[in-house]
Chain A
Amino acid sequence: MMMDEVLKKINDRFGDKVLKVEKKSSRRAYVEIYPRDIVEVVRYMFKDLGLRFNIASAVDDFDKIEILYHFAYDPSGLIVSVRTMLNDKDNPSIDTVTHVMKAAWWIEREIHELFGVNFEGNQDMRRLLLPDDWPQDVYPMRKSFIVPKRDSRKE
């Protein structure tokens, strides 16, 4: 299966649910969808097409939060990234995909605490990386979070 074939399959299956397809090179492509379709698309890619889940990465895009789900097709070395934009930055929320693939267990916890994204339906939203006494509602990977400067004279 080459890149064009994978993209065609996704296009055929989801039609106008696919907002944009960006083929960057013969081995990299980005597919943009609405957040509400994420479970369906991830299930199709992971279960039906048999792609391997690399990881998800969130990006703070100033007025919105963008989440990318990266999938790899190893037999021909492709990486297809599913892009989705969460427009409500005060209350970003998207459905969980942990019931589709267990591999998303940790990364949803991580994005939750670092970007403040709520994964609807995920029961395990405990802290993963941040300490227990880290303040609520402070999300260090957002651009609005400035790393406090250390004053060495006080130490």
Chain B
Amino acid sequence: MSDKKSIIPIGPYHPLQEEPEFWKLIVEGEKVVDVDVRIGYNHRGIEKISESKSFDQSLFIVERICGICSSSHPIACVEAIEDICGIEVPERALYIRTITQELERIHSHMLWLGLAGHFIGYNTVFMWGWKYREPICDIMETITGNRQNYAMHKVGGVRRDIEKEHVAYILSRLDEFLKQLDMLKGAILDDPVLHARLKGVGILTKEAAIEYSALGPVARASGVDIDARRDHPYGVYRKVKWNVITQKEGDVFAKTVVRVLEMFESASIVRQCLDQMAEGPIDAKPKDIPPGEGIGVIEAPRGECFHYVKCDGSNSPVRHKIRAPTYMNFPTFRETVVGETVSDATIIMAAIDPCYCCTERAIVVDTNDKELFKAEDLIRLSQEKTRRIREKMGVK
């Protein structure tokens, strides 16, 4: 190729994108030399809408910011409002908030893992990831009544309690999920093809992560040890044992490792919470919200979610600023994509886990009674194949 630059436009509507956005890749041959992005196709003016709603109503609005983080945004919002009035939230409610948060994290990471596999053409991971996420959605349905958009959180507590008779079911589904996650962990972290495809690709250095104030798994994969669950305590994260997962490399593989290992921590937190939580009230029932301003900071699956609420004593916020984690993680593409090849650009952009919406629910059941392979057979076949490739490539 000559040294002429060409522009590759991607979007705003493109089969690879789950949500509309417009990418302009400027390339020299195969190499990306510059990149620009245009967003805003999904701008719904939620901050403005929230100003015209009462505090109770605006919780339902923020729940609909994202189909995946429909527990994170309401929790950040109630944290901000509780920061204004200083309500003491009952402990059982804090436990329930923590449980929904961690289940949401698992299902979100699982969703990302599937998509990441899809982006690099490894559709087995896509199918597995989304299939193994099902038990978590079922648990969510048991606890909240919904697989998405849980309508669970309110100022001063939560709306629904976890029934005693559901605990055994939740634990058994969690076990089922963990078994599959363990298999998936082995399949992903030891896969020679994934190593070749993801290692050393799209590196975000620690300095750049700090400069861009990157958040969540993106920052932690670059060695920035931040996690709002530990640093800005909310819920009951101080009362359970868990670890913040960090990696040093900053490439796409490190981001994958962080997310996979975090799911184990989340499952362990859910288990400890179910074990520890005592009976009690779940709602402090605050009467009214005094004038003032408050900030709520929580760790959503993609990173820190920030809500700022200002109130003048009336029933609706004067200003409601919402900052989702992707807002800070997105601009890091300037550091990570430039210099890489076009074929790697998609997975690098996907590695920050830009927010996708998925609220579809469908279970396909084959009623033909004929089974060619059982699930175990497929897994065995795939493992054998991986072993063969490994031996061929000389990867241990």
Q: Enumerate chain A interface residues (CB-CB to B < 8 A).
A: 25, 27-28, 30, 52-55, 57, 59-60, 68, 70, 72, 74-75, 77, 79, 81, 101-103, 105-107, 127-131, 140-141, 147
Whether B52 lies near A70 (C-beta < 8 A) is: no
Does chain A have a CB within 8 A of B130?
Answer: no
CB within 8 A of A74: which of B43, B226, B306?
B226
Whether A102 lies near B232 (C-beta < 8 A) is: no
Q: Enumerate chain B interface residues (CB-CB to A < 8 A).
A: 39-40, 43, 45, 47-49, 52, 83, 86, 210-213, 226, 231-233, 293-295, 297, 304, 306, 308, 310, 318-319, 321, 323, 327-328, 330-331, 334
Whether B52 lies near A147 (C-beta < 8 A) is: yes
Q: A105 — nearest CB in chain B belongs to which residue?
A: B331
Whether A59 lies near B48 (C-beta < 8 A) is: no
Chain A to chain B: the 6 pairs with minimum beta-carbon distance, closest first:
A57-B321, A103-B213, A129-B40, A55-B323, A74-B231, A129-B43
Additional pairs, 15, CB under 8 Å, beyond known A72-B232, A79-B297, A147-B45: A52-B210, A53-B213, A55-B327, A57-B319, A70-B308, A72-B231, A75-B231, A101-B211, A102-B211, A102-B331, A103-B328, A105-B331, A128-B40, A147-B49, A147-B52
Whether A101 lies near B213 (C-beta < 8 A) is: yes
Whether A103 lies near B39 (C-beta < 8 A) is: no
**What are some 8 contacts across the A-B interface (CB < 8 A)?**
A25-B83, A28-B294, A70-B306, A72-B297, A81-B295, A103-B211, A106-B327, A129-B40
Looking at chain B's contact residues, is the secondary structure mostly helix, strand, loop, or mixed? mixed
Q: Looking at the assembled complex, report how far the CB atom of B382 sits from the nearest CB atom of chain A, in whole angstroms.
A: 41
- In the complex, number of A-B residue pairs with CB atoms less than 8 Å apart: 81
Whether A54 lies near B323 (C-beta < 8 A) is: yes
CB within 8 A of B39: which of A60, A72, A77, A128?
A128
Whether B306 lies near A141 (C-beta < 8 A) is: no
Q: Looking at the assembled complex, report how far the CB atom of B332 sits from the nearest CB atom of chain A, in whole angstroms.
A: 9
Q: B225 — nearest CB in chain A belongs to which residue?
A: A74
A54 CA to B328 CA, complexed, in Å:
9
A51 CA to B373 CA, complexed, in Å:
55
Residues of A within 8 Å of B330, CB to CB, are 106
Q: B318 — nearest CB in chain A belongs to which residue?
A: A59
A74 CA to B246 CA, complexed, in Å:
15
CB within 8 A of B306: which of A27, A30, A54, A75?
A54
A77 CA to B293 CA, complexed, in Å:
18
A93 CA to B40 CA, complexed, in Å:
24
Whether A70 lies near B211 (C-beta < 8 A) is: no
Q: A128 — nearest CB in chain B belongs to which residue?
A: B40
